[in-house]
Amino acid sequence: MKIKVDISSKYAEKEIVIKSPAEDDELKAIIAKIKNIENKFSQINGYFNETVYSLSLKDILFFETNDRNVYAHTNKNAFLIHYRLYELEDKLPDNFLRVSKSSILNVEEISSLSRSVTGNLVQFKDSYKTIYISRRFLKELKNRLN
């Protein structure tokens, strides 16, 4: 079996291509392992009023720190998360991007990006919630949105 890795900044996301002469048990095992890795971190536990909720990552708009705690924001609520932002940054899929010292957002949930006197502001789909983007991370966010 050959393994080739092509790393370039021109790619928007990771892609795996498998070339095989036939569909055999080894191929099926490889595909199953890749899917298992992909689904490994698709849920996260969030705490709200002494209750634990299993949150799907696709429902999370952004993660934000506040008073040394990390919160996962959905359309309606904010859930306490028992991870630090640097831990989340390593574990989250590619559609999440660090946009400031205190926040990571879900790029797929962005409705608009606007500039104001106070900074760059992101508005999310179907939500009243907004967050500010650090100038340091603005270029990468614009590249992801294109």
Residue 34 lies inside a defined structural domain of this protein: no
**Total domains, the chain:** 1
Residue 54 lies inside a defined structural domain of this protein: yes
Residue 86 lies inside a defined structural domain of this protein: yes
Residue 31 has pLDDT above 70, yes or no: yes
Q: What per-residue confidence (pLDDT) applies to 42?
A: 79
Strands 69-73 and 103-106: unpaired
Residue range 120-133, pLDDT digits in tens: 888 888 889 889 98
Q: What per-residue confidence (pLDDT) applies to 38?
A: 65
Q: What per-residue confidence (pLDDT) applies to 73?
A: 94
Q: Return the exposure string of 104-130: e unless at least 16 CB atoms fall within 10 Å of the residue's CB, then b.
A: bbbeebbeeeeeeeeebebebeeeebe
Residue range 3-12, pLDDT digits in tens: 888 888 888 7
Q: What per-residue confidence (pLDDT) applies to 139?
A: 85
Residue 38 lies inside a defined structural domain of this protein: no
Residue 57 lies inside a defined structural domain of this protein: yes
CATH of the domain at 104: 2.40.50.1020
Domain encompassing residue 72: 44-145
Alpha helices in 11-123 (DSSP H): 25-39, 85-91
Residue 81 lies inside a defined structural domain of this protein: yes
Residue 11 lies inside a defined structural domain of this protein: no
Residue range 56-111, pLDDT digits in tens: 988 999 999 998 999 999 998 999 999 999 999 888 888 899 999 999 999 888 88
Q: How far apart are CA 99 and CA 40, in angstroms?
A: 24
Residue 99 lies inside a defined structural domain of this protein: yes
